[in-house]
Amino acid sequence: MSLTDILSPSDIAAALRDCQAPDSFSPKKFFQISGMSKKSSSQLKEIFRILDNDQSGFIEEDELKYFLQRFECGARVLTTSETKTFLATADHDGDGKIGAEEFQEMVQS
């Protein structure tokens, strides 16, 4: 399964266009524009599974840096600042990584 099986390609493209400039990425805005914030819990778990590149059950800081590229190969890499802010927004238990439940809470909040 791919992200375009769950999210509209045109919504993904619009979300990526919105954050093309370095330091312009806002997770909340990206989730809204891409349509992720409207998805069911089971769909968000599947999105998480796709984004968890190493299938560790967590999205670590190294994976977050390439978050946009998981949606489109040619997308930019998140800046260090964006990556750290993104991680801080979702990492409620302070373990330095985002679990599936933390991801779902972040997307749906």
Annotated binding site for Ca(2+): 52, 54, 56, 58, 63, 91, 93, 95, 97, 102
Q: Please give the structure tokens belonging to residue 72.
A: 């489109």
Q: For residue 58, what are the β-bridge partners? A: 99
CA distance 69 to 38: 21
Residues at the binding site are 52, 54, 56, 58, 63, 91, 93, 95, 97, 102
Angle between helical axes of 27-34 and 80-90 (0-180°, round to 10): 80
Q: Which helix (H) or strand (E) holds 59?
A: strand 58-60
CA distance 101 to 13: 26
Cα 80 to chain centroid distance, Å, stands at 15
